Amino acid sequence: MNGLMMQQPLLISSQLEFAARFHQSVEIVTRTVEGPIVRTTWSGLAKRVRQLANALSASGIKRGDVVATLAWNTQRHLELYFAVSGLGAVLHTINPRLPPDQLTYIANDAGDVMLCFDTTFLPLAKHLASVQTPIKHFVALTDDAHLPKDFQGLRSYESLLVGQPETFTWPSFDENTASSLCYTSGTVGLPKGVLYSHRSTVLHSYAICMVDALAISGQDVTLPVVPMFHVNAWGVPYAAAMVGSKLVLPGPALDGVSLLDLITTEHVTSALGVPTVWLGLLAAAKTKQVKMSMLQKVTIGGSACPPSMITAFQEEHGARVLHAWGMTELSPLGTANVLLPKHASLSKEERLQVQLKQGRPIFGIDLRLVDDDGKVVPHDGKTSGHLEAKGGWVASAYFKSDDHSHHDGEWFATGDIATIDGDGYMQITDRSKDVIKSGGEWISSIDVEHAAMMHPAIAQAAAVGVPHPRWVERPLLVVVKHKDKEVSKEDLRAFLETKLVKWWLPDAIEFVDALPIGPTGKVLKRQLREKFKDYALP
């Protein structure tokens, strides 16, 4: 027996039209690529989105077609979010930081038929125009006055909209229809596409508006610094339409001073981004001696949040830090770290320790930990295991890929090693490929490195497992000393003995001049493991 409730597909076009109907005068402010700050409202945006939908239809874009963007966080990019998906076409947000050969690969893999790009990325667009791809239309996200001249067939975005009606009847279709496509920028192998659906996007939007998730709200002025080319800016554009949040879009100016200026002039109350941008912002605020008192909440994700950053936002600016964790394959939100009533009685330091965890799963995402044999291990905050996820906004497969190694049909293997405590707080302790497996127990390379980095003479540290006849693997600690500082292996080992349990202590320490660093700034542990694979442990 079915319920007797209205059947309405969960569609992205509904989010836009809801904003146009009920949040019409709420502003969307953009620092443009051309320079000036421009303003519209959700009502004004919706009119332009409908014009764009008419223009795209006139250009032959139809359901299932893939439209790519190479763009910053701007009003025009936001318009593309709603128009392309609203039509039933697929928005493919390309990360402009990818090397040209990978750009070529994903434009072909995705089957892009149109590319809309900010003029900042003209060289990348020219590259894509010079190689074999299915792209038929090139559109520069600007007006005719700013249109690059030496690009055959290039049209300006604004010229597309001219004369188009401000009304459009959005098609209704199955909520499982693909809506957007984002490629993971894996350090190994080719990028893999994650194909989101309208259903997954709308469910994820509800989830991130929950109090215990990202709490996206119409009561906030929201600044997504997290790029719209990266996992749909964590879903903020969709959620903001649903709740009618004022949006402040920073365009290409992601330096601390520019962000500080936007935050203070637009009275931003909620900002979201990765640790790197916040380092710049905090430095700018310190230099200019500005207290960001309007800022109530800073959401930090993308990589683990340093404790000093939490303290700086909370104590110097009075903003609550929300540590969150996600992945491209998770749309991205998996966990968010809000404190519970029981934490009110903790000391400041104890609360900080809780806040450093990646947080608790949001309903819609289920998490579990398994050992190497796939056996489930307990959520006791101590036992670590391979972190697996499932849920309505988790990828079931990669786009056009035969690689199902991350999927067992029910669970997605995140590639992380983590613990989960009794309250549901998940903490990532390692990447699966980096964990050191010693005598059936796992040693967190991250913890060993953090302990070494606490020594004043150590600038960089990497712990890797090297073969051991009895324990299978034992940790080798590879460290770089600060130029002007000195420490002996013996003294460093004595220092580590005060920080780590005995069997986690590295069996050997090697001093090197530099660690191998990859294009994304991460230490290439694979190279270290290769280099030290025949290392003779003492």
Residues serving a catalytic function are 184, 329, 437, 442
Number of Cβ atoms within 10 Å of the Cβ of 517: 12
17 vs 449 by CB, closer to a second copy: 17
Residue closest to 259 by CA, chosen among 244, 245, 274: 274
Residue 425 identity (one-letter amino acid): Y
Smallest separation (angstroms) from a second copy to the CB of 360 = 6
Furthest-apart CA atoms within the chain: distance in Å: 77
Smallest separation (angstroms) from a second copy to the CB of 342 = 9
User: 376: exposed, middle or buried (C-beta count within 10 Å: 0-12, 13-18, 19+)?
Assistant: exposed
Cα–Cα distance measured from residue 106 to residue 126, given in angstroms and rounded to the nearest whole number: 15
Smallest separation (angstroms) from a second copy to the CB of 197 = 3
81 vs 393 by CB, closer to a second copy: 393
What SS3 class is residue 289?
coil
111 vs 465 by CB, closer to a second copy: 111
369 vs 496 by CB, closer to a second copy: 369
Structure tokens at 210: 């929950």
Q: Taking phi first (over 0 means left), then psi (-120 to 50 degrees means alpha), and beta for anything else, what does residue 30 get?
A: beta
User: 24: exposed, middle or buried (C-beta count within 10 Å: 0-12, 13-18, 19+)?
Assistant: middle
How far separated are the first and last CA of the chain, in Å rounded? Answer: 70
124 vs 336 by CB, closer to a second copy: 336
Smallest separation (angstroms) from a second copy to the CB of 512 = 42
Smallest separation (angstroms) from a second copy to the CB of 441 = 25
Residues 6+ apart with CB under 8 A from 232: 81, 93, 180, 182, 196, 201, 238, 331
Smallest separation (angstroms) from a second copy to the CB of 270 = 10
Number of Cβ atoms within 10 Å of the Cβ of 433: 12
195 vs 319 by CB, closer to a second copy: 195
Q: What are phi and psi of 130, to 5 degrees?
A: -90, -10
Structure tokens at 264: 């203070």
DSSP H helices in 306-368 = 307-311, 348-355
